[in-house]
Amino acid sequence: MNTNDYHACGTPDHINRRTLLKAAGLAGLSWMTPLSQSLAIEAENAPKGKPAKSVIMLWMAGGPSQLETFDPQPGKRIAYGGRAIKTSAKGIQIAAGLPQTAEVMNDVSLVRSVTSKEGDHERATYNVKTGYRINPTIVHASIGSIITHELPNPDILIPTHVSIIPNQWPSRGGYLGAKYDAFKVGDPIKSVPDVTLNVPQERDDSRMASLNVVERAFARGRIKDLETGRTLHRSTIDRARTLMNSDQLKAFDVSSVSESERALYGDSRFGRGCLAARRLIEEGVRCVEVTLNGWDTHVNNKEGHVTQNNQLDPAFSALIKDLKQRGLLESTVVICGGEFGRTPKQNPLEGRDHWPHGFTVAMAGGGIQGGRVIGATDPAGESKEPTDKKRVEDIHATALHCLGINPEKEMMTDVGRPMAFSEGKVLQELLA
């Protein structure tokens, strides 16, 4: 089956099944003219200018409250005394706990009407990270895996899909294969573990020579990697040793960065993770996910968000400023969000429960125009239907589009089923 690829200029390479069906549906018997019209529409909607190269995803694990972050409702009953502050973007207010982020809102846009059908942490995490709901017949690829699959970087020796301080559900390669799983690391104040020799070089050379003898016998009759002609076991070892010898590993370790620069991001694991993300993007890494756990505020929601915002605010704002100052913001899509939001009404423990019916995702860089807002939630907290509702899939489609990756491109999965990268719609109103 042919699939749509984008040229550098953003026009389709082939005609895929969806394009044909669209055209046929519009056309009746004289379908060739609508087909050309359909192709023209696709070309018009393709990314303008130079596509972005990388994505940084700030993963707010547990589900942040939209009301205490990017969608405050000051003076309304559902705010429970929460305050809002003005931002650098005219007419946009965010929660008072994010004063530094308010300064960079001219470069950040908010989708306040994101919805999903998943209210369970694991299922919702899967949904937001892949753009699909859990299906027992297939494991879908996360957005980072798709990006690294579609945008290989031959100049980089370290993994191009990285998860910093991951929780129990890191991003996976799914049907694209385990080699597209995120490479997991902890607090970047420490160097990557297990990548330095713990024996003299001579002994290591002897070990590798012995391994080569064993490997030849092991390889007989076993399936080989089509790219390398070696067993998966040997390919894994070779990649690991390449990683061990790469100077690019230094990008993971922020201990060499000045204290003043680290302080801009905040004295937290998350802040250091965001600093490491910027350093990794500079090296050519395609996708970095930085996790901030602790947003599951079923109890004492207000106090919990004070703690969380104290970590998010300096890190998020410093990341945007740093990328912009270094000329990297236009080539890097930044996404900040979690698996769902929190209920408009507090429970008896002064907490907020799970709410997938209208939450906020912040986006910046990579062709995203800053200072814009899409959608609105009900200020009374009664309706589950936000205005101008958007789906999780639409965030995926927009991010892929900004990277010059056609969201509708289909891959054949290992169960013989063609799977589109995304079933969402590109949010054209966010694009510069």
Confidence of residue 10 (pLDDT cuts 50, 70, 90): very low
Burial of 272 (0-12, 13-18, 19+ CB in 10 A): buried
**Nearest CA among 142, 110, 138 for reference residue 128:** 142
Whole-number pLDDT of residue 76? 98
CATH superfamily of 17-23+40-190+253-430: Alkaline Phosphatase, subunit A (3.40.720.10)
SS3 158: coil
Q: 38-47, 194-203, 323-332: which range is least confident on average?
A: 38-47
Q: H helices of 251-374, where?
A: 259-265, 269-283, 301-325
- Tell me the average pLDDT of the chain: 87
- Alpha carbons 198 and 183: distance in angstroms, whole number: 22
- Alpha carbons 39 and 334: distance in angstroms, whole number: 29
* Domain boundaries defined on the chain: 17-23+40-190+253-430, 192-249
Residue 422 has pLDDT above 50, yes or no: yes
Residue 223 has pLDDT above 90, yes or no: no
- The token duo for 251 is 């990008």
**Nearest CA among 277, 75, 60 for reference residue 163:** 277
What is the chain's length?
Answer: 432
Instruction: Quick: pLDDT tens for 329-374.
Output: 999 999 999 999 999 999 999 999 999 999 999 999 999 999 999 9
Helical pair 32-45 and 17-27, crossing angle rounded to 10 deg: 130
Count CB neighbours of 157 within 10 A. Answer: 18
- Residues 63/341, Cβ–Cβ less than 8 Å: yes
Instruction: Quick: pLDDT tens for 258-279.
Output: 999 999 999 999 999 999 999 9
Whole-number pLDDT of residue 31? 39
Q: 44-58, 188-202, 293-307, 353-367: which range is least confident on average?
A: 188-202
Instruction: Quick: pLDDT tens for 125-181.
Output: 999 999 999 999 999 999 999 999 999 998 898 999 999 999 999 999 999 999 999
Confidence of residue 240 (pLDDT cuts 50, 70, 90): low
Confidence of residue 254 (pLDDT cuts 50, 70, 90): very high
SS3 220: coil
Whole-number pLDDT of residue 116? 97
SS3 384: coil
Whole-number pLDDT of residue 203? 77
- Alpha carbons 238 and 295: distance in angstroms, whole number: 39
Instruction: Quick: pLDDT tens for 95-119.
Output: 999 999 999 999 999 999 999 999 9
